[in-house]
């Protein structure tokens, strides 16, 4: 099955007292396995609401969301948690690593929840850290790592369960421009290895590394464009 994500006529309505906010007004799109998608749009346009749904943290008010063909709207809280752990990897702006904990232990965390035996956890965490260029740093504590290294640990943690999708919400928002390029280069490498990535960003320079741009405005998708020539590492200073 090639469609990892199918979103059909999804609405999301928040009500607070007699206030009613239509955060998503009937959006539809699908994502094929192996795509690298940027979600863009002004503040308040519905990006986070959409990501929360894709991440099974929230369900649509109407319409359907299928993740690998499974309708998420019908699942219980426990089933959603199970899907999150098994099928999704999350990367956040603020890294969200445990303090006073080693890189390896942070990466092993999703495997602990999945009840994988310790020896296998160890081996998988080392392999994931190697994929993000952190071989040899397994025993460093998160507070001994730079921001870029911390974000790489977070990417390794997102990868370790071999998820169907990595969801990243402004993953370079806290990083300087040189480190941003490093992180985007890692995402590109992982994507070339077949990993599907959906990433929210405000910044055109960051979106330029992806191969598709979904543009949100006022709870609707107003643009869905292919980026035929994504920026490659080393090119970003050319223009
Ligand atoms: P973005 O991530 O693009 O900035 P959001 O998805 O966070 O946009 O928000 C879309 C709209 O929904 C905004 O008008 C926002 O105020 C509203 N909204 C988001 N979350 C909630 C919530 N939990 N309760 C009420 N309104 C919300
Ligand atoms: Mg947001």
pLDDT in tens, 105-163: 999 999 988 889 999 999 999 999 999 999 999 999 999 999 999 999 999 999 999 99
Residue 78, domain CATH: 3.40.50.300
Is 210 touching ligand 1 by the criterion CB < 6 Å? no
Nearest CA to ligand 1 atom 26: 14
Residue 175 structural domain:
3-238
Query: 137, 60 in Cβ contact below 8 A?
Result: no
- pLDDT (mean) for 13-26: 95
pTM of the model: 0.94
Does 215 score more than 90 pLDDT?
yes
Say how far apart CA 208 and CA 226 lie, in whole Å.
Answer: 11
As to burial, measured by CB atoms within 10 angstroms (0-12 exposed, 13-18 middle, 19+ buried), residue 122 is: middle
Does 234 score more than 90 pLDDT?
no
Model confidence at 1, in pLDDT bands (50, 70, 90)? low
Three-state secondary-structure class, residue 95: coil
For residue 219, report the distance from its CA to the centre of ligand 1, in Å: 9
For residue 25, report the distance from its CA to the centre of ligand 1, in Å: 12
Say how far apart CA 41 and CA 46 lie, in whole Å.
Answer: 8
For residue 53, report the distance from its CA to the centre of ligand 1, in Å: 12
Number of structural domains the chain divides into:
1
């Amino acid at each position: 099955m090639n469609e990892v994500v199918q979103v059909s006529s999804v609405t999301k309505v928040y009500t607070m007292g007699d206030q009613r906010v239509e955060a998503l007004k009937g959006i539809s799109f699908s994502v094929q396995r192996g795509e690298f998608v940027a979600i863009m749009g002004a503040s308040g346009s519905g990006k986070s609401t959409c990501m929360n749904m894709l991440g099974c943290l929230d369900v649509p008010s109407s319409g359907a969301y299928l993740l690998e063909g499974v309708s998420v709207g019908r699942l219980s809280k426990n089933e959603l948690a199970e899907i999150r752990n098994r099928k999704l990897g999350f990367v956040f702006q603020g890294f969200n690593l445990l303090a006073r904990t080693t890189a390896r232990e942070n990466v092993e965390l999703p495997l602990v929840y999945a009840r994988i035996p310790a020896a296998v956890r160890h081996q998988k965490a080392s392999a994931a850290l190697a994929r993000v260029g952190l071989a040899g740093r397994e025993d460093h504590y998160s507070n001994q790592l730079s921001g870029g290294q911390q974000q790489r640990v977070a990417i390794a943690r997102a990868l370790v369960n071999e998820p169907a999708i990595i969801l990243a919400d402004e993953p370079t928002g806290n990083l300087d421009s040189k480190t941003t390029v490093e992180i985007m280069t890692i995402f590109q490498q992982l994507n070339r290895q077949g990993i599907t990535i959906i990433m929210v960003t405000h910044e055109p320079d960051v979106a330029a590394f992806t191969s598709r741009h979904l543009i949100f405005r006022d709870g609707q998708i107003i643009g869905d464009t292919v980026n035929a020539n994504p920026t490659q590492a080393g090119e970003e200073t050319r223009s």
